[in-house]
Amino acid sequence: MAQSTVNFVGNSLFRNYNFGVKNHCFTILNRIHGTSGATPVTECTSTCPSSYSGEFSASDESDANDNDLSVHPYSENDLEDYVNGVSAADESTIFKHVNDVEYITDPYKMVAADCNNNNEIDAGDADQVMDLVLEDVVFTRNSWEWFNQKEIIDNYGSFQSDPYSWTLSERWSGYMFWLNVSTSTLSSNTTQPQFFYYLSTKVGEVNKTPNETNDWICGSYSFKGETNHESNLK
């Protein structure tokens, strides 16, 4: 089957903000119906403003639904990645939530606080933060979690009430899949973002302090005043 080339551009944005994150990588694999094998393409957000771009092969029949696409975001997930931006202040914030002093209500921060990956915020999460800070013991889950931006925009109410179920690791085992997609849909500036635009949250990082900023995150971010998350996405 004849093939064409699709050029793509994607983003990895930090939570509900309009700036991105460096050092996030995305592996794109497109399987064309009627062909054997496919070559994965990996592109990373190496510098700010942290978009990523590349190209992959697709069906030469523009309007035929004969592409199966997958996208897999990931980071280094090493100790340096885990500790970046995480401090004892995060442990304190998590304990305030557990002890009913001050609740964590932002959905991205709720996922970030769930260090032990049991879909709730509990004392075990605070313990894991301190184990990381004091003993270099990494969390039970990966250092970053991603969300497909279009899924969050289209289902924001459900995301607010149960953010844990909307991470790519929980919802799609870390990979997003689309079956029977036309090449024209993959190529169009209007429809392409649904495949390549992602939101992310840094696990363990729930309380930004001046001395513990995450140097992968572009721009001067703040965790204060997060009151209009849905409008910030659009």
- Give the confidence band of 233 by pLDDT, cuts at 50, 70, 90: very low
For residues 88-100, average pLDDT: 96
Question: In sequence order, which residues have a C-beta less than 8 Å from that of residue 71 and are 6 or more positions away?
Answer: 26, 27, 28, 175, 176, 195, 196
pLDDT, position 46: 85
| Domain 3-76+143-224, CATH class in plain words | mainly beta
Ramachandran assignment for 216, one of left (phi > 0), alpha (psi -120 to 50 degrees), beta (any other):
alpha
pLDDT (tens digit per residue) in 117-164: 999 999 999 999 999 999 999 999 999 999 999 999 999 999 999 999
pLDDT value of position 222: 52
pTM score, whole prediction: 0.92
User: 87-101, 153-167, 170-184, 201-215: lowest mean pLDDT where?
Assistant: 201-215
The pLDDT confidence band at residue 1, using thresholds 50, 70 and 90, is low
pLDDT reported for residue 230: 46
- The pLDDT tens digits for 197-228 are 999 999 999 987 666 789 999 876 555 334 44
Using the predicted structure, report yes or no on whether residue 111 has a pLDDT greater than 70: yes
More confident residue, 210 or 45: 45
Asked if the model's pLDDT at residue 232 lies above 60, the reply is: no
Mean pLDDT score across all residues of the chain:
91
| pLDDT of amino acid 65 | 95
* Burial profile 188-215: b = 16 or more Cβ within 10 angstroms, e = fewer: eeeebbbbbbbbbbbbbbbbbeeebebe
